[in-house]
């Protein structure tokens, strides 16, 4: 072996060793912490769900919407083309088109209803994602996103029958009014949506929208827990879900 080749091999070996140093150091030093580790205070559930009680929802109020978009660094592009939405209002006739009839009064037809990701029990978005960047958390049924894995193919957007998903058609960061350092901002070219506030549940907090609603129109809880308030409401009151006939088993229930 000639000397230059030996030096080359040595250098290559050293470089490879160098590459592995950081992960090894991190593992030894216990640096490998994720941002939203569940502490002892975390809320635990087996099937998180939400009830939206429209009678309590005050017209013109934007508290839940603003709270959500503020804590999650949702940009405001001020145009419907690039728009990102996690929770927003839609007229009732669009949310429950199958319930519309010619004698339904205009005010009811146009009545704004809060919509968000339904965290379906059988989510088509998860089924179609080619990289598992969107997935259903086994322990509690939340449909989540990995913004670092998403390739931006938008198959999930086509797959979602509720229009709950938004694509970052451009860099969202300049359009965030005030960045919340506690939650990651997104990059252009990935899809995002409501995450049922996984990061807050891990800290023992209710979702931001639920907390922000002074009228208590939003009920959040564990449907699998027979003692929970949401279970009692869903059991005793007539609720509607959006497009249940599609077999997605949406987990946002409406009392109109």
Partner 1 sequence: MLEKALIGSKKYWIWLFFLLVVLLVGAANYLRQLDYGLGITGMSRDVTWALYIAQFTFLVGVAASAVMLVLPYYLHNYKAFGRITILGEFLAVASVVMCLTFIIVDLGQPARAFNVIIYPTPSSILFWDMIVLNGYLLLNIAIGWTVLDSERKEIAPPKWVKILIYVSIPWAISIHTVTAFIYAGLPGRSFWLTAIMAPRFLASAFASGPALLILLCFILRRFTRFDAGKEPIQALAKIVTYAVIISIFFVLMELFTAFYSQIPEHMKHFTYLFVGLEGHRGLVPWMWASVILAFGAVILLINPKTRENEGLLALACGAVFVSLWIEKGLGLVVTGFIPSPLDKITEYTPTGPEVAITLGVWALGFLILTVLYKIAISVKEEVEN
**Contact footprint for partner 1 (CB under 8 A):** 80-85, 90, 93-95, 97, 115, 124, 127-133, 149-155, 157-163, 166-171, 187-191, 243, 246-248
Q: Which is nearer to partner 1, 228 or 248 (CB)?
A: 248
Q: How many CA atoms lie within 13 A of 216 on its CB side?
A: 2
Cα 2 versus chain centre, distance? 59
Q: What DSSP character marks residue 49?
A: E
Print burial letters for 146-165: b (CB count within 10 Å at least 16), e (below 16). eeeebeebebbbebbebebb
CB of 205 to partner 1, least distance (A): 29
Q: Which is nearer to partner 1, 186 or 200 (CB)?
A: 186
Question: 218-222 and 48-53 as β-strands: parallel, antiparallel, unpaired?
Answer: antiparallel
Q: Which is nearer to partner 1, 80 or 236 (CB)?
A: 80
Cα distances from 125 to residues 13, 76, 155, in angstroms, run 44, 24, 7
Q: Which is nearer to partner 1, 26 or 171 (CB)?
A: 171
CB of 101 to partner 1, least distance (A): 13
CB of 156 to partner 1, least distance (A): 10
Q: Which is nearer to partner 1, 18 or 130 (CB)?
A: 130
CB of 184 to partner 1, least distance (A): 15
Q: Are 157 and 49 in contact (CB under 8 A)?
A: no
**Percent helix, percent strand, percent coil in the chain, to nearest 5:** 35, 15, 55
CB of 37 to partner 1, least distance (A): 23
Q: Which is nearer to partner 1, 89 or 200 (CB)?
A: 89
- Which residue in the block uniquely carries the two structure tokens 């250098």? 11
CB of 23 to partner 1, least distance (A): 18
> What is the distance between the alpha carbons of residues 155 and 158, in angstroms, rounded to a whole number?
5
Q: Which is nearer to partner 1, 191 or 210 (CB)?
A: 191
CB of 175 to partner 1, least distance (A): 11
Spatial neighbors of 220 by CB under 8 A, at least 6 apart, are 48, 49, 50, 51, 196, 206, 207, 210, 230
């Amino acid at each position: 072996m000639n000397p230059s080749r030996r030096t080359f091999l040595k250098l290559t070996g050293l470089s490879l060793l160098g590459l592995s140093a950081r992960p090894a150091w991190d593992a030894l030093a216990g640096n490998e912490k994720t941002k939203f580790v569940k502490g002892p205070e975390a809320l635990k559930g087996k099937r998180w769900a939400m009830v939206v009680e429209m009678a309590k929802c005050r017209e013109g109020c934007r508290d839940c919407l603003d709270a959500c978009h503020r804590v999650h660094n949702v940009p405001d592009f001020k145009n419907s083309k690039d728009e990102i939405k996690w929770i927003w209002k839609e007229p009732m006739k669009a949310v429950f088109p199958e319930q519309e009839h010619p004698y339904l009064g205009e005010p009811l037809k146009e009545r704004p209803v809060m919509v968000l990701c339904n965290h379906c029990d059988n989510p088509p978005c998860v089924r179609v994602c080619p990289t598992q960047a969107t997935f259903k958390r086994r322990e509690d049924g939340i449909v989540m996103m990995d913004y670092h894995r998403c390739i931006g193919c938008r198959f999930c957007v086509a797959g979602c029958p509720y229009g709950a998903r938004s694509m970052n058609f451009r860099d969202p960061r300049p359009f965030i009014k005030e960045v919340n350092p506690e939650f990651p901002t997104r990059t252009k070219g990935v899809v995002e949506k409501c995450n049922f506030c996984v990061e807050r549940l891990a800290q023992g907090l209710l979702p931001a929208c639920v907390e922000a609603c002074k009228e208590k129109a939003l009920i959040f809880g564990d449907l699998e827990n027979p003692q929970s308030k949401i279970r009692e409401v869903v059991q005793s009151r007539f609720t509607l879900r959006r497009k249940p006939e599609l077999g997605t088993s949406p987990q946002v229930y409406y009392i109109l």
